[in-house]
Amino acid sequence: MAPVPAPLEGVTVLDLSTVGPGTRCTRILADYGARVVKVGVPPKKAGLQTQPAFWSYSAARGQQQVRIDLKHAEGKAAFLELVRGADVVLESYRPGVMKRLGLDFEALRAIHPRIILCSTSGYGQDGPAAQWAGHDINYLAVGGYLHTSGRRADGQPPLPGATVADSAAGGMHAAIAIFAALLRREKTGEGEWLDVAVADGVLQLTSLYVDQFLATGAKPSPGHDILTGRYACYETYACADGRWLAVGAIEPAFYANLCKALGCEQWLESQHDDSVQDRIRADFAAAFRSRDRDDWVAELAPANTCVAPVYSIEELAEDPQFEARGMFVEAEHPTQGRFRQLAPPLAGMPRRAGPVPVPDPTRTDTEALLAAAGVDEDHIQRLREAGAIA
């Protein structure tokens, strides 16, 4: 039987981003089989771009790279030759930069009507905040994520432990939008411009609370309902060895199992009684402090209690469930040698056997890709001599 093709096999993406939501997006697209070409600047301008560590973003596995000076007239022309054979162009500049470069959607569509331009930005291409600079924490702040998260002792909103906005509200948001645009193009034959705002994506992440307020006038905040800390059945607890457990016993049957396992049967009928939640928490906390974390996990996790360990990164890298799921692979770098990395983790992403080759970030595929796009060898030589490519 012939191997099943990757979902995005045959799709070419030109990626103008270097880090953040755009690069998160193209990591997803590459792992689904798209040919992703990272478009960087020539070495003489390399200091103008953030250069991620060799291991970040899965070490650019399965991706190619060109180095083109988009501010150079001939460099821009060379880039447009690549656009002719592409399906998607992704960029993460401030709103308006692509137009100043002469590479906005109208310019791209003029040479390739089926092109999809995905613009990722913090606040979107229009509106009073469009030109604001920002990072993950800023988008989580304006989207309500920080406000509804648990507070520190002094009431200060927390610092998230992962770049949720970049990864989900930005990267996954952009990838989903591109998937949809590719499907729509099959029906219309036309490309489109996708305006992906990370802050908009955070609203989707907090939509349960946004919709609650809009529909009822309720004002969600830490502790306002079961998911934000109102009840003892949805909480984190310290164990004897100083490590932590996460408890998510929302359903009454799971809550009852937990109470019985902890010797707290007195609270079986009090799951949602606001007047005794502090007492339930105290009894749960005392029970959990009596044993080490992994002892509790071994007993409670298989017993329909919705209990899981709070893993450190080094612990999850050795977790037998993730190992069984093939979540980690070995990569091989031309200069850094072999190292472990996260495998393509999302459903439907193809996996390959053996060490995964990852490219040397200093290398370039510029000449090969331009030649494949129809640019002749003499022209490529002139572009190199002019500093328009590298």
Q: Which residues are catalytic?
A: 135, 166
Cβ-based burial of 44 (10 A; exposed 0-12, middle 13-18, buried ≥19): exposed
Residue 234 is given by DSSP the state E
Contacts of 377 (CB under 8 A, 6+ apart): 371
- Report the SS3 class of residue 262: coil
Helices (H) and strands (E) in the chain, counts: 17, 12
- Which residues, 6+ apart, have CB-to-CB distance to 315 below 8 Å? 309
**What is the spatial distance between Cα 242 and Cα 244, in angstroms, rounded to a whole number?**
7
Note the residue count of the chain.
390
Closest alpha carbon to 281 in 271, 292, 295:
271
| Strands of the 337-342 sheet, one edge to the other | 337-342, 328-333, 356-357
CA distance 260 to 305: 10
Give the single-character DSSP code of 348: T
Q: What DSSP character marks residue 121?
A: E
113 DSSP 8-state letter: T
On whether the CB atoms of residues 77 and 374 are closer than 8 A, the answer is no
> What tokens were used for 217?
């006038």
- Exposure of 149 by Cβ count < 10 A (0-12 exposed, 13-18 middle, 19+ buried)? middle
How does strand 193-197 pair with strand 63-67? unpaired
The Cα–Cα gap between 32 and 289 comes to 44
Return the structure tokens found at 47: 């200091």
Radius of gyration for the alpha carbons in the chain, expressed in angstroms and rounded: 25
386: amino acid identity, one letter: A
Tell me, rounded to whole angstroms, the distance of Cα 102 from its chain centroid: 29
